[in-house]
Amino acid sequence: MRGGMTPASSPTSPVVKPWVQAIHPYIPGRSTADDGRKVVKLSSNENPLGTSPAAVAAFASAGTSLERYPDAGATALREAIGAAHGIDPARIIYGTGSDEILHLVASAYAGVGDEIIHVRYGFAVYEIATRRVGATPVVVDDRDYATDVDAILAAVTDRTTIVYVANPNNPTGTFTAKDEVARLHAGLPGHVLLVLDQAYAEYLAPEDDDGGLALAATAANVLVTRTFSKIHGLAAERIGWGYGSATVIEALHRVRGPFNVTIAGQAAAVAAVGDTSFVASTRAHNDRWRDWFVGAIGALGNAGLRCVPSQANFVLVLFEGQLTAETAYKGLMDAGYIVRWLPGQGLAQGLRITIGTKEETRGVVAALRTLVERAG
Ligand SMILES: *Cc1c(COP(=O)(O)O)cnc(C)c1O
């Protein structure tokens, strides 16, 4: 027998890698209640206004030659993104959602023995991407739910190869300002890749730009990621992109799946980039109803509900009084609203609620008011 393995010591079935066994699979936001009822979905931060009509039309007309592979270089998409942001299309990577890009980064820059830093209340994919390649997740404390730059810098070791920071952060909605992002980058050794996940950047006011794209333009160790799943309303098509140094982008192409963005997805995304008025009206809707939501939760009085300050299209509501997050989660489900409860991420005390349409936002607050009154 090749390798000399004796039958007695040979496993009888394939052996999963221990670091893969350690992964807690991602739990997606739900769209149905426990009893199977279809409910209002405020659990995945999707666009309540739908999708740009131009993107829907481009998607529909892309279905005429399904036997051909898509453009493996996503040329039109990179050019559209480059023109919209004033960045070099040659330094743009694209992925099956920005999730794929987060995984590509770990594949290219981390393995067994390496450490990857993320914040305690961070995006669940960071830990999965870390473990998948056998690297060690290093989880740092928050500062009242916000990203703590000093805690991240204090956690860096010789083994650190990547820091993942979402800005605004999910599930907290908190924002790390430009000077803090610059301070974080300045404090990192050159061998550590700073991944700035800007999945919600389009919801920020222009003056709140965190400087990520400008940093990535010149720094060798910064990658910015963006997605079409949130403000562009294209979550179904799974398209994301990233911008970084030529060297980083070249490394990510090595591990990328070939033809990883579909023809219809590329066409829809190109049209979505061009529909700036759809993006602007989505942001305006979100500003208005997020403000209204936060005000309405505040107006519930001293029931112990507190909104973590959010600059995204969702709000993390903390339940620090009689009404617990778990009871509220179930009560909202009974009332027809699915929100995100994340006890597995150490957030048993909060609910992340996506800002929906006007009716949905008013409805979820009315349901919460009833639950607060019932809890006494
Ligand atoms: C939604 C989200 C993403 C993007 O996911 P896609 O794979 O592009 O759909 C990335 N990061 C964060 C923090 C998110 O919330």
Average pLDDT over residues 133-158: 98
Q: Which residue has the higher pLDDT, 7 or 282?
A: 282
Q: Rounded to the nearest 5°, which phi and psi values hold at 160?
A: -70, 130
* Residue among 51, 81, 99 to mutate when testing ligand 1 (max atoms within 8 A of CB): 99
Q: What is the pLDDT of residue 84?
A: 97
State yes or no: pLDDT of 193 exceeds 70: yes
Alpha carbon dihedral 317, 323, 329, 333, in 10-degree steps, equals -120
Residue 54: both structure tokens together? 């131009």
pTM exceeding the 0.75 threshold for the entire prediction: yes
State yes or no: pLDDT of 93 exceeds 60: yes
Distance 322 CA to ligand 1 centre (A): 33
Ligand 1 touching residue 354 (CB < 6 A): no
The pLDDT-based confidence of 246 (bands split at 50, 70, 90) is very high
Ligand 1 touching residue 97 (CB < 6 A): yes
Q: What is the pLDDT of residue 9?
A: 77
The CATH homologous superfamily for domain 18-49+277-375 is Aspartate Aminotransferase, domain 1 (3.90.1150.10)
| Residues 229 and 222: beta-carbon distance below 8 Å | no
State yes or no: pLDDT of 2 exceeds 70: no
State the closest ligand 1 atom to the C-alpha of 166, by its place in the atom list counted from 1: 13
The pLDDT-based confidence of 8 (bands split at 50, 70, 90) is low
Distance 225 CA to ligand 1 centre (A): 9
Ligand 1 touching residue 313 (CB < 6 A): no
State the closest ligand 1 atom to the C-alpha of 44, by its place in the atom list counted from 1: 1
Q: Where are the alpha helices (DSSP H) in the chain?
A: 18-21, 53-60, 75-85, 97-109, 124-132, 149-155, 178-187, 212-218, 246-255, 263-274, 276-298, 325-334, 358-375
Q: Where are the domains of the chain?
A: 18-49+277-375, 53-275
The two most distant CA atoms of the chain are separated, in Å, by 74
Q: Which residues contact 359 (CB under 8 A, 6 or more apart)?
A: none
CATH 3.40.640.10 assigned to 53-275? yes
Q: Which residues contact 310 (CB under 8 A, 6 or more apart)?
A: 168, 172, 173, 174, 290, 294, 316
